[in-house]
Structure 1
Amino acid sequence: MILDGNQRGGARDLAIHLMKPENEHIELHEIRGFMADTIMGALREAEAICRGTKCVRHLYSLSLSPPETANVPVSAFEDAVQRIEEKLGLAGHPRVIVFHEKNGRRHAHCIWSRINVGTMTAVRMSHDRRKLADISRQLYLEHGWKMPEGLIDPDLRNPFNFDRKEWFQAKRAGKDPRDIKNALQQCWAASDSGPAFRSALEARGYWLAQGDRRAVVAIDINGEIYAVARWIGLKTRDVVSRTNDIVSLPSVAEVRGHVSRLVREKMAGFVDSVTEEFIRAAQALESQRIALVEQQRKARRELHATQEIRAIHEGRQRAKRFRKGILGLWDRVTGKQAEIRKENELATAASARRDNTERHALISAQLLERKHLQGEIAEERRAHVRQLAQLYREIGVPSRDVAPAESSQPKRRRRHRHSWN
């Protein structure tokens, strides 16, 4: 499973984050080493202890995300947490474990207090990411999960990595930066000349222009500017060399005006109609999602109540096995009472295992049910994206001087945010 940990302070903000209602199911699995019995209380307790030290980032927050298709029992998460805290030097430290479920996927968060109460010092977290990567590799191998290439070798990471400036620029445009980078790189790879590159970009909804500082830039239908060399990962002179006469490229203002006219003339009404259809479908699916989540929560509450009633009944039955009065004193002298106590302890442990198995079976079935609905949601989103991509591609048709075969170029995706994204 993917392990992502970091040192941090802000106990209150972290507690609020862990209890965010955007998660469909939130389960407080364990609080160890704290007097409080709530997430907020435990983390604020850790914050109070750290005030006796100079440590600012007194918490270590870790997320444990298994593969999407894996059905991982609670014991596997607990085993991973145990290994991690031993590897990082946090064994025995107070901790909180919380499970989150959203979009048919389940992951866990574990938060430790870094403060050693005996010495009032914080555990050093040297090379924690490297240690987490080692444990992550072991977990993938032991469980037979397909290991991400980036975890096998740092040089095999996803090539679509972005710096902070690229990421926030893409977010302002309302797009996933992977889509932008993929579009620009594929257009470059599919063309062998300046005109071909320009036509390929227009088929994706981008237009070349002469930039003020970075020589060649691409502009999308929103008027957002992208430095071509930077997004493709080449040197500026290589891009200029392929585009030949850069002076012949229109200015940013001219391209933005041209794009605005195309959008007004060709796209406004079509995009609105497609989006309205998508919103109606999204609302229907969202209603199904809300109903399903409430149904699942009710089933979990009923199971919890059933198990509590059964536990009380079984506890009373085990208590009745102890005789009272003189007979009870005789059982104590002869050792029979100790035998009954041991049998009761074994029966209690077996009941706990049975209850855990029932809970895991219910959660697994509900996750599968939620994944099916998420598949419908994803397909509706893909259909919407395909329709929009077709419309955006039409924007480039009037201005291209290329053969119709270029219409086979891959489509550019645009993301629209909705409550169930």
Structure 2
Amino acid sequence: MILKGNQRAGGTDLATHLMNAFDNERVEVAQIRGTVAEHLHGAFAEYEALAAGTRCKEPLYSLSVNPSAPLAREQYYAAIDRIEQRLGLSGQARAVVFHVKHGREHAHVVWCRIDTAKMRAVQLSHDRQKLRGLARELAMEFGLELPEGLAEDKRTERARKKEQTLAEKAQAEATGITPEQRRAEITQAYRRSDSAEAFRAALKEKGYVLAAGDKRVYVVVDRFGKIHSLARQIDGVRTREIGQKLAAIEAQVEGVDAVKATIAQREASSRARIDQRVKHAMAERAAKLATLHKARRHKLGGKDQQLATTHGAERMSLHAAHKAEADKPFARAAGAIFALFDRVPGLRSVIAPLRRNPKINPTERHRIEREALERRHQRERLVLDRRTKALSRLEAWELRSLATAVRRQVQEMEAAREQKAETVQDQIVVNKLDIVLPHGELHAEANKKKGWKARQDKLGAGKNREQDQSRGYRRGRDEP
């Protein structure tokens, strides 16, 4: 079981991220506790409203629970209750959301850190260490496997360096290449290369360009123009060893600015073509997403219509009740008496408190009830409008995710096409040289290889003759 938690702000973006149905196969809001709002955007807005009365800048605590094997909902909630008790968040408002991504279910829990009784944020000291201990306890209790690094009592410096940061996660989502995949590809290219030139060619084949950085000796630039330290991408090799291996091509390695300029120029030349392909792919893939958006809009539109019908019925009912009460003899008499007293200046100030008393004056009570009903209707309408705006933000988020995924796929296909075109062009150049160069220069290397092969064949023939003679056979005869 992996537990990752952090204090944060930005409740609107967090709610939109948790409700994103494009990046997740299934989204389920399982629990919203301690708030008036029944949806994530409203609940997180209440969390931030409470924080406005304090100095807390990060009123949310977000936790992801990712087990190595499927768990029952009772096990999830038991783990969540134990976690919030250990962190000191017992009784705080919280929201629980379940996601299914790549066929695996995991949970997200968001707590409000503001203690309403004391109006201050709950202090979360050493939460990382507590979560690591809880991960080990829950894994043993539920029979789950511990991931690499959690089995140790202390986190080593190497594991700390390899931990994926939020920036690396965002970069991986934008490029489609995780840091682990990138390190594995570059490490494999380094270990399989016997020279500096072969290593640079292997990097180019995988879509990376070797460059000279400003602060670091060598860096690699991927096809998207992102810069990575070469020493941190190769496992088990020191920076000095890398420098010694690449010393032969040190003068040939371009600077990182020149490499980025080349990549930017190549992207500019192919941008129109990529944009056109992205537009066609978006038109095809956006249909499914539009169906999901339409279903959400239809559901929210039904609530809007139901709310309008309910509000109209309540206003009509209140108006009918007020009219029925105003037609009663006591109400008419009280109105006539108050109107008579209002004509006398001396009595006007005396009866003013009685006139403002809703128990005595039905008209005043009717006004208070109409205003209360109107305020409640405005609050309910405001909640629905907030949900509509949240749905618009969610749809925009999902469209951006779709556009990012489509553009990444198109860029990968374009890079593969360019790589294939470069290979074909290099082969054409080699073929031209084969045709143009003189026979002696052309086949000099080939003759060397043929001479070496002839010598090997001669040695092999000699060995075969000795074996035949030892067995009693003679060459050219069928029998001994």
TM bucket by the smaller chain?
0.5 to 0.7
Decide whether aligned partners of structure 1 residues 94 and 159 sit closer, same or farther in structure 2, where only a CA change above 3 A counts.
closer
Deviation at 1:100, TM superposition (A): 2.8
1:66 aligns with 2:67: yes
The residue aligned with 1:2 is 2
Query: Which of 242, 247, 266 does residue 245 from structure 2 map onto?
Result: 242
The residue aligned with 1:121 is 120
**Aligned residue type for 1:113:** C
Question: Runs of 5+ in structure 2 lacking a partner?
Answer: 296-407, 431-480
The residue aligned with 1:180 is 182
Flag the structure with more relative contact order, 1 or 2, with Cα contacts below 8 A and sequence separation at least 6.
Answer: 1
Q: Counterparts of 2:107 and 2:167 in 1: how far apart (Å)?
A: 30
Decide whether aligned partners of structure 1 residues 129 and 203 sit closer, same or farther in structure 2, where only a CA change above 3 A counts.
same
Of 200-209 and 177-186, more deviation after overlay is shown by: 200-209
| Residues 205 and 395, structure 1, Cα contact 8 Å, conserved in 2 | no
1:99 aligns with 2:102: no
Q: Deviations over 1:187-231 (max 9, x none)?
A: 222234324433433443445455566444445556665543343
Decide whether aligned partners of structure 1 residues 43 and 212 sit closer, same or farther in structure 2, where only a CA change above 3 A counts.
closer
The residue aligned with 2:191 is 189
Deviation at 1:136, TM superposition (A): 1.4
The residue aligned with 2:385 is none
Deviation at 1:76, TM superposition (A): 0.9
Decide whether aligned partners of structure 1 residues 135 and 241 sit closer, same or farther in structure 2, where only a CA change above 3 A counts.
same
Of 161-170 and 32-41, more deviation after overlay is shown by: 161-170
The residue aligned with 2:45 is 44
Q: Counterparts of 1:28 and 1:138 in 2: how far apart (Å)?
A: 26
Deviation at 1:18, TM superposition (A): 3.2
Decide whether aligned partners of structure 1 residues 387 and 133 sit closer, same or farther in structure 2, where only a CA change above 3 A counts.
same
Q: Counterparts of 1:218 and 1:240 in 2: how far apart (Å)?
A: 14
Deviation at 1:85, TM superposition (A): 1.3
**Aligned residue type for 1:81:** I
| Residues 160 and 182, structure 1, Cα contact 8 Å, conserved in 2 | no
The structure richer in helix per residue is 2
Q: Counterparts of 2:36 and 2:264 in 1: how far apart (Å)?
A: 62
Deviation at 1:241, TM superposition (A): 1.2
TM-score w.r.t. structure 2 length?
0.50
% identical equivalent positions: 37
Q: Counterparts of 1:181 and 1:21 in 2: how far apart (Å)?
A: 30
SS at 1:182 equivalent: helix
Deviation at 1:54, TM superposition (A): 3.0
Query: Which of 231, 234, 244 does residue 232 from structure 1 map onto?
Result: 234
Structure 2 counterparts to residues 336-415 of structure 1, below 5 A: 392=419, 395=422, 398=426
Deviation at 1:182, TM superposition (A): 2.1
Q: Deviations over 1:231-285 (max 9, x none)?
A: 3376554322112334542535987899999x99xxx9xx99xx98xx98x9999
Q: Deviations over 1:358-392 (max 9, x none)?
A: xxxxxxxxxxxxxxxxxxxxxxx99x989986984
Q: Counterparts of 1:396 and 1:148 in 2: how far apart (Å)?
A: 42
The residue aligned with 1:19 is 19
Q: Counterparts of 2:263 and 2:49 in 1: how far apart (Å)?
A: 57
Q: Deviations over 1:283-313 (max 9, x none)?
A: 9999899999999xxxxxxxxxxxxxxxxxx
| Residues 203 and 396, structure 1, Cα contact 8 Å, conserved in 2 | no
* Aligned positions, number: 312
| Residues 2 and 147, structure 2, Cα contact 8 Å, conserved in 1 | no
Q: Counterparts of 1:240 and 1:192 in 2: how far apart (Å)?
A: 14
Q: Deviations over 1:3-53 (max 9, x none)?
A: 222223344443333333434443332233334433334333333333443
